[in-house]
Structure 1
Amino acid sequence: MTTAVTTFAHLRKKERRERQQIIIAAAERVYSHKPFETVSMRDIAKEAGIAVSSLYRYFPDQQTLFVEAFVVGTRQIIARVDARISKGEITNLTAFGHEFISFLAENDHYFRMMTHFMLDGRLSGKPLEKLNTAARSVLDLFERVLGHCGAGRHKRALAHTYFAALNGILITFRNYPGRDSAEVRRHMESIAKMMAEAVESYGRLPQDDQEA
């Protein structure tokens, strides 16, 4: 009897997780073609093929769902970079920066989510905890890549510096007027390369030179 109860409980939890994943995927599709500031729970429910009332059984509010969708994005970029590192395709910060820019250019809704969270600051409780954990995982990725690329000092500070620089480049130039998307991408990658070389150089300086 105990085994049966445990099995059914496990199946219910698994079914709930699967339905949550369907809803998160639906939210991502909606966010990818509609400004997320205008997205409603009704939009997401329609995309997922469920009633709005059913949607609230899995996510108590839109911010919670929003955070879950953002977490999916952080996992994707981490997996993508790790895969490229394992194949020997990322050996310096320039290659990493280009990969980061490419991912966010291809998945603009994740970039808009990230900047929204950076600027909004109204989350609290479990959604805020989950968001902070996801943000730390991205910064951990930057720190790991710095170590992989030979930085020996101040990796955490340099990770923050390069992360902020890449986001600044995207914010400033991704919708640059008068240039097509290919020109914009080349321009962003060129600036990212300069920043990467500066960060790498600083990370390799002797301690006395850094404090001069």
Structure 2
Amino acid sequence: MARPAEVRQAAAPTSSRQAARRVRILGAAAELGAREGLASVQMHDVAKEAGVAIATLYRYFPSKPYLFLSVLEWHIDQFLGGRDTGPAADEVADPAAEVAEMLIALSGKLLGSPLLASAVALSSFTEYASAVPTQIDIVERSLGQRLLHLLGDRADARSKVRLLVYTWWGLFVAMLTEEISTDQGETDLRLAARLITAP
């Protein structure tokens, strides 16, 4: 009987040169995904576009779903990096509104490239269901950290951040698949933020 393939762990860059190479790969995957969609993108195409060997690509990204899930994280990091950290919870008059508007803006940015948005959404479902372990705490990711900053260090803040991220993701997918309109998604995000952040 054949043994299942051993799951490859993604390597982390250890130098600025490797980090730049990883970003080149993410940029190439994002560009190809936005232009062609997930099904048409091959790992060889990404490697060629990024100017790296296929072995290098697989060292950082063991599968195509893992690669496009990383593209999603990279886009979120870029979105948040392009905005200042913002005020802390005690400096925000209406944390629910601040949270909602940030998540609405993030949705708009991702939905601005429908093929890429579909690629990262499909990859996230595949990756979470696959044998490749992600083992992440969503609160520790950049989006979770920004929301935690906005909500402050309350006892229930981490749970509220998880609820906000998962609610945002569900509404993002519903808008992407046109199950709901963008306007309805934004209205629902505002309501969810108000309900979840309530004391």
* Matching residue of 2:35: 33
Q: Which residue is equivalent to 1:100?
A: 103
Q: In structure 2, how many angstroms separate the alpha carbons of the residues matched to 1:18 and 1:200?
A: 38
2:55 aligned partner, one-letter code: Y
Q: For residue 59 of structure 1, what is the aligned residue in structure 2?
A: 58
Find the partner of 2:132 among 102, 119, 124.
124
Please, what TM-score do these two structures have when normalized by structure 1? 0.64
What is residue 85 of structure 1 aligned with on the other side?
86
Report the counterpart of residue 8 of structure 2 in structure 1: none
Q: Which residue of 1 aligns with 2:22?
A: 20
Aligned CA distance change for structure 1 residues 19 and 139 (closer, same or farther; 3 Å): closer
> How many residue pairs align between the two structures?
175
Per the TM alignment, residue 69 of structure 1 is displaced from its structure 2 partner at its CA by 2.6
Candidates 179, 185, 190, aligned match of 1:188: 185
Question: Against the structure 1 CA distance between its residues 22 and 68, is the aligned structure 2 distance closer, same or farther, given a 3 Å change threshold?
Answer: same
CA distance 1:28–1:123, change in 2 (3 Å): farther
Q: CA deviation at 1:200?
A: 2.5
Q: Deviations over 1:1-53 (max 9, x none)?
A: xxxxxxxxxxx9544433332222111111223322432113213433x37xx
SS at match of 2:86: helix
Do 1:71 and 1:134's aligned partners in 2 also have CA atoms closer than 8 Å? no
Q: Does residue 113 in structure 1 map to residue 120 in structure 2? A: yes
Question: Can you give the 5+ residue segments of structure 1 that lack an aligned partner in the other structure?
Answer: 1-11, 205-212
Could you say if the C-alpha distance between residues 140 and 36 of structure 1 is closer, same or farther in structure 2, counting changes exceeding 3 Å?
A: same
**Hey, what does 1:198 align to over in structure 2?**
195
Residues 172-198 of structure 1 deviation map (CA, whole Å, 9 limit, x = unaligned): 234437x9xxxx333221111111221
Larger relative contact order (Cα-Cα within 8 Å, sequence gap ≥ 6): 2
Please report the RMSD computed on the Cα atoms of aligned residues, expressed in angstroms.
Answer: 3.5
TM-score (normalised: structure 2): 0.67
Percent identity, aligned pairs only, is 12
Q: C-alpha distance in 2, partners of 1:14/1:200?
A: 39
Bigger fraction of residues in helix: 1
Alignment CA distance shift 1:117-1:92 (3 Å) = same
Cα separation, 2, equivalents of 1:89 and 1:140: 16
1:56 to 1:89, Cα distance in 2 relative to 1, 3 A: farther
CA contact (8 A) 2:139 2:162 kept: no
Q: 1:136-159 CA deviation, whole Å, 9 max, x = no partner?
A: 313333222222xxx844112211
Question: Which AA in structure 2 matches 1:117?
Answer: S
